[in-house]
Amino acid sequence: MNHLWAAAAILLAAGGAGWAQQTGGEMPRPLAGPVQILRSAEVRAGMQGTAWTVFEGTQPEAVPVEIIGLWKNAWGPRQDVILAKLGGKAARTNVAGGMSGSPVYVDGKLIGAIALRISVFSPDAICGITPIEHMLEINELDASQPSAQKSPQSLVERAELRPPPGLLDQGGALVPIETPLSFAGFHENTLQQFRPLFDQMGIRAVQGGAAGSLRSSSPAPGWEKALQPGDAIAGVLLSGDLNITGLGTVTYNDGKRVLGFGHSFFNLGPVNMPMSKGEVLMVLSSQFQPNKFANATEVVGALRQDRHSGIMGLLGETAPTIPVTVEVKTPGLAREYNFNAFQHPRWTPFLMLISVFNTLQDINESAADEATFTLEGDVEFDGLAPLKLRTRAASGSGPMPPPMQIASWWAERFNRLFQNPAEEPRLKRVRVLVTMAPERKTAAIESAWLDANEVAAGGELAGKIHLRPWRGERIVRDFRIRIPAGMPRGEHRLLISDGPTLNRPQLMAAMNNRFLDLKQTISIMNQERGNDQVFVSLVESRPTVYADDQALPGVPTSVLNVMQTGRSAKPVTSIMETARPQLVLPAEEIVTGSTMVRFRVK
């Protein structure tokens, strides 16, 4: 057990009898500070207790609790769960999402936190309580990484515990109470798109709200007295014009460290996430999926641990976040969204995905069925060159609607940054500009030809490129390039292509290179060619070698053999031909396809 927590938990034995000496009347509301604990081994069936949770507003209310019994080794070896039945208001609402972490006391002694509920329809408010001794084991300095982390990239099966026969007469299974993930500033269409993913993670996505003070990730004045036992507590993933917060209840507060939930949030292990207070609007009563509807209010600290038996945060601490600005423009609309994003390898890419997708819903609803979107992004780092990105998407140009194409492309870049094996990026600021044109601007490279098929070394080649647009007249583009003076006589080829065709070999080489550092990863992404350009390239029969973030065109075969024998310290990838771009033709359309033309040097 963490000795700091253990010492805090038993201080009351020397400092007074507290609630245990109460002889009558209702138990007073628990406050921050030391408290006696009652270990699960001392809990007996039939004991009467009190839980504290917020039903409306910010003040927790007392809930009668009757202990059903102790379920030995429910979570695993020496991981017991206390089964109990709730009365009072909780008997009407049932065990609701957001009650996770509600502290339970017997004779004034803290026994644990409400953390589980019946997974099927239940007329009784039956809950599972995580013993407080398991929560006190959460160590601030624990850097270990849990194996079953909840994230959009790696979904894990929802835990389900089945009590032994006789312990719970009505049967059914106990599951961790779903954490209400509250979205403020998000369209219902956004939640519908992503709700199945949250359901698989055991998270209930709901429309919510947030106070204006949540715009800052710094602790608000008065944080010293925040998050008393029974208060609402939230982990903040986004704050500002867009807000995403996960709500639970405070179990214990020693004046600096706070415990809550009684089960994991995302089971991420060590984290650095803004921690805020909350205000409950109402509790939706249901035998199926009761839930608290709440707003996050003020940031008062930072969550530092997200573990199997609960979350742990520090009051007064500041969690670093990523300032993000997303600007959207159409011919008749201009809006800007500013928010701060939780920085984490598994969650930041997804937060970029859902936030950009959501901001496009306004312009998507007002756009015609045919639309073209352009994204320009700028990512600033601490100590590294900036990342500058650009892409376009149009209706019918991919397997997904354009807003999802754009958002997915943007998120994939952050995934590449955060999955870098050498170091984790330190992002200073992110800026995004998305513009929409109410028409489908796509064109395919249909054909190309040369005015003359023979040219002298050092001479010029001229020709035309035919582009076939969506529902329009064929576009003819003229081009003219100069042939290198040293080009040998004979047959040669000219590649007319889009940007992705030229990007593909280097991207595949980067995927196969496990030793790229962050600087090289940024460099490769900065080298990517746009998808609204036409490239005219000379093709050589000599290999191109990709080493780290460098493309080495026209490498002699003898040199390539040396590089591939293992004498080089760097991993290399090669393709058997080299395409050297000679001309870039900008286009108003998204260009796809490629074609080849032949010519002779005389």
Domain count within the chain: 3
Q: What CA dihedral angle connects 429, 432, 433 and 434, to 10 degrees?
A: -170
Strands (E) located in 89-231: 103-106, 109-118, 126-131, 174-176, 179-184, 203-207, 209-210
- Same domain? For 394 and 279 the reply is no
pLDDT one-digit tens code per residue, 224-233 = 999 999 999 9
Check residue 400 and give its pLDDT.
83
- Same domain? For 419 and 452 the reply is no
Give the H/E segment covering residue 196. Answer: helix 188-200
Does the pLDDT value for residue 11 go beyond 60?
A: no
Average pLDDT over every residue of 359-363: 83
Reported as a pLDDT band with limits 50, 70 and 90, residue 8 is very low
Check residue 556 and give its pLDDT.
83
pLDDT one-digit tens code per residue, 168-209 = 544 557 788 888 888 989 998 899 888 888 877 767 788 776
Residue type, 252: Y
pLDDT one-digit tens code per residue, 63-92 = 999 999 998 887 777 888 999 999 999 999
What is the chain's mean pLDDT, rounded?
Answer: 86
Domain enclosing residue 344, as ranges: 323-437
End-to-end CA distance of the chain: 83
DSSP state, residue 419:
T
Average pLDDT over every residue of 20-44: 78
Does the pLDDT value for residue 470 go beyond 50?
A: yes
Check residue 18 and give its pLDDT.
35
- Same domain? For 28 and 45 the reply is yes
Residue with tokens 């490498």: 555
CB of 275 within 8 A of CB of 253? Answer: no
Does the pLDDT value for residue 221 go beyond 60?
A: yes
Does the pLDDT value for residue 409 go beyond 50?
A: yes
**What burial class does residue 25 get, using C-beta atoms within 10 Å of its C-beta: 0-12 exposed, 13-18 middle, 19+ buried?**
exposed
Reported as a pLDDT band with limits 50, 70 and 90, residue 275 is very high
Average pLDDT over every residue of 421-432: 93
Check residue 21 and give its pLDDT.
34
- Same domain? For 459 and 428 the reply is no
Name the strands in the sheet holding 544-547, side by side, starting at the edge strand that comes first in the sequence. Answer: 550-552, 544-547, 572-575
Reported as a pLDDT band with limits 50, 70 and 90, residue 17 is very low
When comparing pLDDT for 571 and 499, which is higher? 499
Q: What is the dihedral sign for C-alpha 149, 150, 155, 156?
A: positive
When comparing pLDDT for 470 and 11, which is higher? 470
Q: Which of 149-153, 318-322, 422-426, 462-466 has the lowest mean pLDDT?
A: 149-153
- Same domain? For 312 and 335 the reply is no
Average pLDDT over every residue of 501-529: 90
DSSP 302-357: EEEEEETTEEEEEET----EEEEEEEEEETTEEEEEEEEEE--TTTHHHHHHHHHH
- Same domain? For 313 and 432 the reply is no
Quote the percentage of the chain above a pLDDT of 90: 60
- Same domain? For 422 and 506 the reply is no
pLDDT one-digit tens code per residue, 136-146 = 999 877 778 88
- Same domain? For 63 and 207 the reply is yes
Reported as a pLDDT band with limits 50, 70 and 90, residue 16 is very low
Does the pLDDT value for residue 22 go beyond 50?
A: no
- Same domain? For 295 and 267 the reply is yes
Reported as a pLDDT band with limits 50, 70 and 90, residue 218 is confident
Q: Compute the distance between CA of residue 345 and CA of residue 351 in angstroms, rounded to an integer.
A: 11
Check residue 158 and give its pLDDT.
52
Average pLDDT over every residue of 17-41: 71
- Same domain? For 49 and 153 the reply is yes
- Same domain? For 342 and 289 the reply is no
DSSP state, residue 363:
H
pLDDT one-digit tens code per residue, 578-595 = 999 999 999 999 999 999
Average pLDDT over every residue of 555-563: 75
Does the pLDDT value for residue 441 go beyond 50?
A: yes
Q: Compute the distance between CA of residue 278 and CA of residue 226 in angstroms, rounded to an integer.
A: 10
- Same domain? For 151 and 11 the reply is yes
Instruction: State how far the alpha carbon of 287 is from the alpha carbons of 91, 93, 121, 321, in Å.
Output: 10, 8, 5, 38
Q: Please write down the HEC assignment for all residues of 127-141.
A: EEEEEHHHHCCCCCC
Check residue 293 and give its pLDDT.
83
Residue type, 565: T
Question: Domain end: 263, 298, 319, which one?
Answer: 319
Does the pLDDT value for residue 257 go beyond 70?
A: yes
pLDDT one-digit tens code per residue, 378-401 = 999 999 999 999 999 998 777 788
Question: Domain end: 412, 437, 462, which one?
Answer: 437
Question: Domain end: 319, 339, 372, which one?
Answer: 319
Check residue 10 and give its pLDDT.
40
Does the pLDDT value for residue 367 go beyond 80?
A: no
Q: What is the CATH number of the domain that holds 333?
A: 3.10.20
Average pLDDT over every residue of 468-474: 91
